[in-house]
Structure 1
Amino acid sequence: MLQILQENSDIRDVESASSPELWDSSSVVLITYPDTVFRKGEDSLKTLSDFIDKKLGNIAKIIHVLPFLPSTSDGGFAVSNHDQIAPSFGNWSDLKKLSKDHNIMADLVLNHVSSSHKWVQQFIQSINPGTSYILSPRDLNGWDKVIRPRNTSLFIKLATKEGLKNTWTTFGPDQIDLDWQNPDILIEFLKLIVLYLKNGVSWIRLDAIAFIWKEKNTSCLHRDQVHQIVKLLRFYLENLVNKGVIITETNVPEAENLSYLKSGDEAHMAYNFPLPPLLLEALVSNKADLLNKWLCSWPSLPFKTTFLNFTASHDGIGLRPLEGLMTQNRLHELLVNCEKRGGLISHRKMENGEDSPYELNISWWSAMSDSGIDPSYLQVQRFLLSQLFTIALQGVPAFYLPAVLASENDIKSFGRSGERRDLNRERFDVEKLYLKLKDIQSFPNQIIRELNSAMEKRTKEISFHPDSPMHCLTKDRSDVVIITRGENKDKIWAIHNMTNSRLTISLLDSIFSYSEDSSSKWSDLLKDKLIINNILEVPPYNVMWLKRIN
């Protein structure tokens, strides 16, 4: 590792050293596939770059370009080649150009490779290094405690030159697990990180990191060695670039997710996995009691660590993070409400052999629809509330491009592939999209305008810095969520009406107490509107950002 660091000491950006902050009030992540928007005959990274520059200026400071390496399945997460970008997306220079005006976040798929990867083919031919890179336990006893994210077989047999061999397949038969007890695997990925950094990537997402280390008679999840590897990767990244960020992706119960932040020397950032299902449940049930209770126990994190707050992503809406936060009855109601809106439910295999709900497969836009006669009733209001909610929280907000474009459940793609997650991975012909966006009444136009405006306002407020203090003021309420960000004269009150009814709120309530000049007036930052009296009438699913002004 030291040799790689010495050989690549020229990567470090000297200019960025003068600004040590990893994030600020303007920080926001746009999550997108390289070809979410496409133009026939053009490399999709070029199309994406052009679309973002024209339409998404304020909501794409950081771009999470989902897997761009060649892949055979699972939406890019079955990597078949680590050396090049998939030809239909473009090449390394396209990615580097995109990084000139944006921070680029990329996936490090550590747990497995495609069954077509050269390492697997070497394993089949019984030649190195593949023979020692692929996880192939001889004894299948002692693995009954393994915690799975899927309900497929844990092992598949591959016909090699030396006969049939069992290979570990955590996520499915096309994704063959690597043997991380071989230190050469680490070196391979350290070299890949260098390739990423040389081509404009500075934020590294550790995909499914919790699963990489296997030991008999354990859950094979979050092993001590995993945490040591995350620490090492952070040390490595920080010694190569000044503003590198490690993000862990662990769709697990909250305490387990937090384990990658609590020490302060592992991940810089972790996906805030309880947020999407709790927020969804609150909006479809008109009951925010669980969401308020969770917000009021928001954890204190070490310096230079924070959450990535998101609602939609390329995956489903994880249900394991709800463990300990939601009763089975409420969870059942959530599943039913998802199915009413055209969603599906994916399962994982439990230790006792039974299947258990693992994630909801539904587009976030469809999830925001009404279950009554008119699905579009208050749909855009619910959707915008959900996105403004993430902007107001402590941490860095993230938006998923298909959701921003009001993508409904993509039945056609799901029908072609049979992959449930494809319900939420729609691709858009960019020329048709530009035409649609010319209509100021179209849902994508409304969403983009509102989010660009909200992020512009957020950027100006020090109270919305990801590290700024946050407090929830509505622990015992189910109709409204009110949080404060910042302190003293900069404090902001973010008010969210979580119901389909108008809500009356008095500014004379003690939660709006203010220690500074009591003669100062209130302003709604979102609407650039001065508050005239002390009674607020908040429309259904409406959001206000209140601040005292002189």
Structure 2
Amino acid sequence: MSELDSELDELRLSLREIYPGHSEQEINSVWSQLLQILDPFCVNKGKDELEIESIWDSSSVVLITYPDSIYRKDESTLKTLTEFVKNRLGGLSSVIHVLPFLPSTSDGGFAVSNHEKIDDSFGNWNDLKDLSGKHKIMADLVLNHVSSSHPWVHQFIKSEDSGPSYIVSPSETNVWENVIRPRNTSLFTNINTKQGFKSVWTTFGPDQIDVDWRNPNIFLEFLKLLVRYITNGADWIRLDAIAFIWKEPHTTCLHLDPVHSIVKLLNKCLKIIKPSAVLITETNVPEKENLSYLIEGNEANLAYNFTLPPLLLEAIYTGKTDLLKSWLSTWKELPRHTSLLNFTSSHDGIGLRALEGIMDDQRIHNLLVESEKRGGLVSHRRLSNGDDQPYELNISWWSAMSNEGSDNTVFQFERFLLSQLFTLSIKGVPAFYLPSVLASPNDIDSFRKTGQRRDLNREKFEANQLLDVLKNFDSPASKNISYLTHIVKVRSRLKAFHPEASMKCISTNIANCIILQRGLDEDSVYVICNMSSNFLCISPLNQINSLELTPEKRLLDNITGSYFNTDTFKLNPYQVVWLTLDD
């Protein structure tokens, strides 16, 4: 039996495992359709196996952006974005995460109303291919729900075609008392159908209606979309809100076993379609639950590191590094070809669920207060007892880095660079969010127009106006791009920053300092971060026991190109250095 035959047998077994209640005839039909979808890729199976060795390296950096984050009148926004990336951001990232680009009715593109085409205002599939010419593309599979305007919902309302079996509409609504919610909106929404009013499941709100993954045809529908993404240049695939897709009475309806089985099945299919593709799970949940998609090594390649942003933010606000150090010291070892996607800011808020079991309630409260002082808002989720609990902070990362005093720009640039350098330093694949890089403050105007708190951090930029801003080399946006592009270039030549390279948090008696060792032996890089607004004196021989200095060896900061005194040196407020031993 060939390796491909073995993989196909595993796929068939997986289908039967996920859908045990379906007849053999139904499974055979689904299996036949699945083979038809995969058949064009089976022919070339084996030719691209070597690609698996290089799915990422120290140059792998993701840039997160909406397809219309940068726009120009009478031009498709993907063309505008492609031009801007080519001329201004070419060295900043190797992967571009283009947030939902399919037609949508709400939630920043995550209420998809059509799976067949790209939204006309963004462009077309050829525009996406053009963007993928010099960058890998990450795209979103919004698996849990569709827009209330999606054809499947229309079919459900009319009781036509597949509609009734594609939408989650439980006959009983009183057996879901243990469901864990990400929102404080109603779990069910009543809609008027040909058969009368029916309750449909709406995890994220009334315009986002959950699809029924108990129907294996749903898997086929999304596999077709996955193929469409791959063939049009997107081979990093983000599984949006994957944890919520399977519903069973009297359970939490979160991370249920069939969810993990479906991720494994998607992974197997993806590796047949494109062996070098990367699968990413996005689950704003406590860290142990988040890592559950990585620990077996046969589900996702990456999981969003939701613990990082709030922990780092609290350390920057307070200067306290105890929680950050403890977290770094207990970093989980993961299987080969798996790691974390490290970010400080994204299109969503700063998730708080990852702090459960890590940060106490008082410190979380203080974090919320500090954010609110800088114009941030707090979004909540509803618990099973009816209480609302903070779920995420809504604030632009640039505003979050500001000072609360009369001059809010004091150390703002330095804090921002510290946060991005820290993200670039820890184990995993780092990601930047375009509005943060462009020093976008809280977008009060957009929030006032829409009432959506996440819109505080989703500013859109008119291309020509943005180019004028960037002509001023002293503007925060220009400085951020210049500095981070330089850092990414430096990082790309240091093997220690490979996403899977070892990481050790080095104990230090300096309260507001974090020291990491990335890599081993001659490839080692020592990362030293001053987390405070004060100058810090560092004695490397006292703090780093593994340093073996000789008269011929010197300490080089790879960021500035400067050599440091081996006895003691001074770090500026919020400064980060990447030290190596140099002959």
Shorter chain as normaliser: what TM range? over 0.9
Tell me the SS of whatever aligns to 1:59.
coil
State the match for 2:26 in structure 1.
Answer: none
C-alpha distance in 1, partners of 2:395/2:540? 38
1:217, distance to aligned residue in structure 2 (A): 0.4
Q: Choose from 316, 319, 337 the match for 1:283.
A: 316
**Deviation string for 1:356-410 (max 9, x for gaps)?**
0000000000000001111100000000000010111111100000000000000
Does 305-314 or 475-484 show the bigger shift? Answer: 475-484
CA RMSD of aligned residues (A): 1.4
Q: How does 1:423-462 map to 2 (within 5 A)?
A: 423-462=456-495
Task: Measure, in 2, the Cα distance between the counterparts of 1:232 and 1:7.
Answer: 18
Q: How does 1:422-501 map to 2 (within 5 A)?
A: 422-474=455-507, 477-501=510-534
Preserved CA contact (<8 Å) 2:541 2:566: no
Alpha carbons 1:363, 1:403 under 8 Å: kept: yes
In 2, are the aligned partners of 1:480 and 1:496 still within 8 Å (CA)?
yes
Aligned match for 1:344, one of 374, 377, 396: 377
Give the corresponding residue for 1:88.
121
Distance 2:196 2:459 in 1: 42
Structure 2 match to 1:144:
177
CA contact (8 A) 2:508 2:543 kept: no
Are the equivalent residues in 2 in contact too, given 1:363–1:408 (CA < 8 A)? Answer: yes
Q: Which amino acid aligns with 2:403?
A: D
Deviation at 1:519, TM superposition (A): 3.3
Instruction: Say if 2:181 and 2:383, in contact at 8 Å, map to a contact too.
Output: yes
Q: Secondary structure at the match of 2:53?
A: coil
Distance in 2, matches of 1:13 and 1:78, equals 37
Pick the aligned partner of 1:395 from 407, 412, 428: 428
One-letter identity of the residue aligned with 1:408 = P
Q: Relative to structure 2, which stretch is displaced further, 135-144 or 524-533?
A: 524-533
**8 Å contact from structure 1 (residues 488, 515) kept in 2:** no
- Could you report, residue by residue, the CA deviation over 1:215-251 in whole angstroms, capped at 9, with x for unpaired residues? 0000000000000000000000000112111000000
Name the amino acid aligned to 2:273: L
Deviation at 1:164, TM superposition (A): 0.7
Q: How far apart, in 2, do the equivalents of 1:4 and 1:233 lie?
A: 13
Q: Which residue of 2 aligns with 1:506?
A: 539
Q: 1:48 aligns with which of 75, 81, 98?
A: 81
| 1:64 paired to 2:64 | no
Mapped pair 1:380 → 2:380? no
Answer whether contact 1:80 1:113 (CA < 8 A) is retained. Answer: yes
The gaps in structure 2 that reach 5 residues or longer are 1-33
How far off is 1:141 after superposition?
A: 1.6
Contact kept, 8 Å, 2:48 with 2:276, in 1: the verdict is no
**TM alignment of 1:286-297, pairs within 5 A:** 286-297=319-330
Report the TM-score when normalising by structure 2. Answer: 0.92
Which residue identity is paired with 1:292? K
- Tell me the distance in 2 between the aligned counterparts of 1:411 and 1:18: 45
CA offsets per residue over residues 110-133 of structure 1, 9 Å max, x none?
000000001001111111211110
Sort the Cα spacing of 1:354 and 1:476 in 2 relative to 1 into closer, same or farther, 3 A: farther
Q: Aligned with 1:263: secondary structure?
A: coil
For 1:164, the aligned partner's letter is F
Paired residue for 1:334? 367
The DSSP-based 3-state class of the residue aligned with 2:570 is strand
Out of 377, 394, 397, which is 1:364 matched to?
Answer: 397
Distance apart, 1:288 and its partner CA: 1.6
**2:252 & 2:552 partners in 1: Cα distance?**
59
The 1-side partners of 2:284 and 2:319 are apart by 25
Structure 1: distance between partners of 2:43 and 2:456: 43
In structure 2, the residue matched to 1:539 is 572
Distance 1:383 1:146 in 2: 38
Q: Which position in structure 2 is the counterpart of 1:405?
A: 438
CA distance in 2, matches of 1:55, 1:495: 30
- Work out the number of aligned pairs and report it: 550
Report the AA paired with residue 208 of structure 1. A
CA distance in 2 between partners of 1:12 and 1:100 (Å): 23
| Residues 1:10 and 1:94: Cα distance change in structure 2 (over 3 Å) | farther
The aligned runs of 1:198-237 (5 Å cut-off) are 198-237=231-270
Higher mean displacement: 403-412 or 530-539:
530-539
The worse-fitting range, judged by mean Cα deviation, of 333-342 and 475-484 is 475-484
Aligned to 1:264: 297
Partners of 2:539 and 2:566 within 8 A in 1: no
What residue in structure 2 maps to residue 189 of structure 1? 222
1:23 aligns with 2:56: yes
Comparing 15-24 and 433-442, the one that deviates more: 15-24
Q: Which residue of 1 aligns with 2:307?
A: 274
Give the alignment of 1:146-185 within 5 angstroms.
146-185=179-218
Answer with 64-73 or 527-536: which moved more.
527-536
Report the secondary structure of 2:541's partner residue: coil
Taking the aligned partners of 1:435 and 1:366, their CA distance within structure 2 comes to: 22
Secondary structure of the 1:20 match is helix
* C-alpha contact 2:60 2:430 (8 A) present in aligned 1: yes
**Deviation of 1:467 (Å):** 1.1
Q: Matched residues in 2 for 1:336 and 1:502: separation?
A: 27
2:146 is equivalent to residue 113 of structure 1: yes
Q: CA deviation at 1:476?
A: 6.0
Q: CA 1:506 to 1:395, structure 2 compared with 1: closer, same or farther past 3 Å?
A: same
**Stretch moving more, 16-25 or 510-519:** 510-519
The 3-state SS of whatever aligns with 2:436 is helix
**Shift >6 Å, 4+ stretches:** 10-13
Q: Structure 1: how far apart are the matches of 2:302 and 2:510?
A: 30
Distance 1:261 1:19 in 2: 17
SS at match of 1:146: coil
Give the residue type in structure 2 aligned to 1:531: F
- Secondary structure at 2:54's aligned position in 1? coil
Q: Quick one: distance in 2 between partners of 1:163 and 1:454?
A: 60
Determine the C-alpha separation between the residues in 2 that align with 1:128 and 1:17. 43
Name the % identity.
Answer: 56
- Contact 1:11 1:198 (8 Å CA) reproduced: no
CA distance in 1, matches of 2:69, 2:514: 33
Specify whether residues 349 and 242 from structure 1 end up closer, same or farther in structure 2 by C-alpha distance, changes over 3 A only: same
Name whichever of 63-72 and 119-128 sits farther off. Answer: 119-128
| Per-residue deviation, 1:507 | 1.8
Instruction: Please tell me whether the aligned partners of residues 27 and 397 of structure 1 are also in contact (alpha carbons under 8 angstroms).
Output: yes
* CA shift digits 1:24-65 (9 cap, x unpaired): 010000000001111111100011011111111222210000
Greater shift, 406-415 or 279-288, is seen at: 279-288
| AA at the equivalent of 2:384 | E
> 1:545 aligns to what SS in structure 2?
strand
Counterpart in 2 of 1:239?
272
Against the structure 1 CA distance between its residues 335 and 11, is the aligned structure 2 distance closer, same or farther, given a 3 Å change threshold?
A: farther
Q: Distance in 2 between matches of 1:158 and 1:205?
A: 30
Deviation at 1:21, TM superposition (A): 1.6
Question: How many angstroms apart in 1 are the aligned matches of 2:140 and 2:178?
Answer: 28
Return the letter of the residue paired with 2:94: K
On the 8 A contact 1:123/1:131 being kept in 2, the answer is yes
**C-alpha contact 2:61 2:95 (8 A) present in aligned 1:** yes
* Structure 1, 516-525 or 389-398: larger mean CA deviation: 516-525
Residue type matched to 1:237 in 2?
L
Write the deviation string for residues 128-179 of structure 1: whole angstroms up to 9, x where unpaired: 2111100000111210100000000000111000111110000000000001
Residue 300, structure 1, aligned to residue 297, structure 2:
no
Tell me, yes or no, if the aligned pair for 1:288 and 1:477 is still in contact at 8 Å.
no
Distance in structure 1 (CA, Å) of the matches to 2:87 and 2:45: 30
Task: Report the CA distance shift for 1:53/1:15 in structure 2 as closer, same or farther (over 3 A).
Answer: farther
How many angstroms apart in 2 are the aligned matches of 1:50 and 1:209? Answer: 33
